[in-house]
Structure 1
Amino acid sequence: MALTPSNMLPLGTKAPEFSLVDTKDNKIKSLQDLKGKTGTLVMFICNHCPFVIHVNEELVRLANDYQSKGINCIAISSNDVVNYPQDGPDQMKQHAIDNHYPFPYLYDETQDIAKAYDAACTPDFFLFNSDLNLVYAGQLDGSRPGNGIPVTGEDLRSAIDGLVNNSPINQNQKPSMGCNIKWK
């Protein structure tokens, strides 16, 4: 497992469009179909990464907490499934069921969407406003597997609260850290 920081896409960047298969129902879904009224959180995750496993429960809590406030969450897996078959679409569907994902879990088979977002690691978080302009790119919180810091989601939650409450979002954003995306 290679510890990789996110690339920190510049704030204000327009969300790249996509149409991907949602492994939960096997239907094609686009960014326009899934965007939230207030904001949209795009998360690059996968099934096997210990960093994602470490925060899975908080991702579910966060999505459930903010959905009623107009924030929609979207999870995307872009890993190479030839070398990492545990991240394949069938396994993604089961993983979403097992973890009670309240958000779509999309499969980026070509890896084009991860490249468009300049995603580098799992988990990697991109929060967009109602106009799909990037307002936050960074870590969920300071917790990592084994560092003893509790998973709270405080950094990402602070940014979402700012978006929901129309208040300033801290511009000093710390990169997410995790396993590198498994490129083909």
Structure 2
Amino acid sequence: MSDGSERTPDESGGHGADGKGGRKDPSTNEGSRFDRLPATAADRTVEGRATREEAVGWWVERFGLDAERFAGHTFWEKGSGKIWAFADDVDSPAELEGLGMTFLRTRQEHWKPTTDAVQRFGRGARRNVVVLDAEEARAFLRGETTDPEWDGDWGYLIAAHEIAGAVEPIGVGLYLYGELRSQMPKGRQREL
């Protein structure tokens, strides 16, 4: 028997967070939807959410990339600190399973770039790129820790290898205490 109140689905086809079909609160972080990163801190409505300016600025500062490399991309958070890059635009918020590629992990002590983002955007990086020789590159792709010659910053680096006269990014490495720990996802590790 009905109590007389109608529950209507929201735009995603389900019921909103208020249970009455209303849209979910845009000032909260929802793990089931993509929210566009605000342009600047002045535009931020969700506490702790990175801004586009901060995300792009991190890549520029950490790896010496040109900010123009990210032109034409929109940036989105889904969940807590999982930033996605999308080479187009859609309305925000968007309730989808995936949107573009994972780009950066924030909301932790040290931001971490993703393998996909390093391979897509890392070409041309001028800082914090460790170029591995052939054996080191093979070990890195297997997910192993190596000890390359490196006298730069500690932390997340772009691991790269010279191929056909060009330095190509392979993935993300974590350099600590004289060793490079491969961050190659298990499903992408290869024996070459």
Flag whether TM exceeds 0.5 (same fold).
Answer: no
TM-score of the pair, normalised by structure 1 = 0.25
TM-score of the pair, normalised by structure 2 = 0.25
Q: Relative CO higher for 1 or 2, CA cutoff 8 Å, sep ≥ 6?
A: 1
Which has more radius of gyration? Answer: 2
Structure with the larger helix share:
1
